[in-house]
Amino acid sequence: MTLADAITCARAGESDGFACLFEATIPNVWLAAAMLGCPQCGSIVTQIYRKAQQSISSLRSPSDLRVWMGRICYEILLRQPEHTGRMLPVLTGVLREAYAVMAELPRQERLALLLMCGEGCSAPQAAEILAVPDIEIKRAMRRARQTIAAAMKQKDQNCNTSWLIAQLAALREAQSSADAAVQQQILHCVLTDEAYVEQAQPVQDTQEALPETPEEQPKPEEKNGFFQKLFRSRRFG
């Protein structure tokens, strides 16, 4: 199913269409919730997609999807208390170190990074989503790049835009793969109007979750093979 077909089906109230839009957008939404430190990602993301379902009539075409979903997502995420980023699972090496720096950035800089390098938004698109002047987005992005570059300099990493885009893509893949079953639970709750039950998780701050020594690294979470195969078998035009 193409995104255009999915939009048409979703606007007609067909669950398959909305499910396609969910799977096309959930990796970015899930990463944003984690990187912005949302304490109850599942409950908040369920709220985001329930609002998206209610607002589906305002989505006209695939070219509108990024800004349409971005407005809904960040309007809700930015109502949450400001925290540093939550731990992402199964991160190792340079990716783990890069995320440790990103998670500690001021929230405005994390927002610029997520939108411009994670979702591929232009500065005007990011400004439209956040309802701020685009010069603020550009300045925040520049500060974020400078901070990350300084931290990664000792690793001989060239922190240019392409490198940042690659890191965000890898973070998105790691998070979505590890939490595929949770995301399918969210979709089920949105489509059936069932209440989402937040999974109990130990409280950890970023420093505990991202130790510096390899011996202290947390073990990767077990993955649900069925849902992983389900996610990887879907392709969208």
Domain span including residue 196: 1-86+179-201+223-237
Same domain? 186 vs 76: yes
Same domain? 160 vs 195: no
Helical H runs in 55-179? 62-77, 93-103, 107-113, 123-130, 134-152, 161-178
Same domain? 80 vs 127: no
Q: Who has greater pLDDT, 232 or 134?
A: 134
Same domain? 81 vs 2: yes
In a domain, 209, yes or no: no
Confidence (pTM): 0.78
pLDDT exceeds 60 at position 147: yes
pLDDT exceeds 80 at position 23: yes
Same domain? 13 vs 44: yes
Terminal-residue alpha carbon distance, the chain: 7
Same domain? 166 vs 197: no
* Domains identified in the chain, total number: 2
Same domain? 133 vs 144: yes
Q: Give tens-digit pLDDT for 63-102.
A: 999 999 999 999 999 998 888 888 776 788 888 888 889 9
pLDDT band at 8 (very low <50, low <70, confident <90, very high): very high
Same domain? 184 vs 74: yes
Which stretches does DSSP call E strand in 18-58?
none
Same domain? 44 vs 94: no
Rg (CA), the chain: 18
Same domain? 183 vs 82: yes
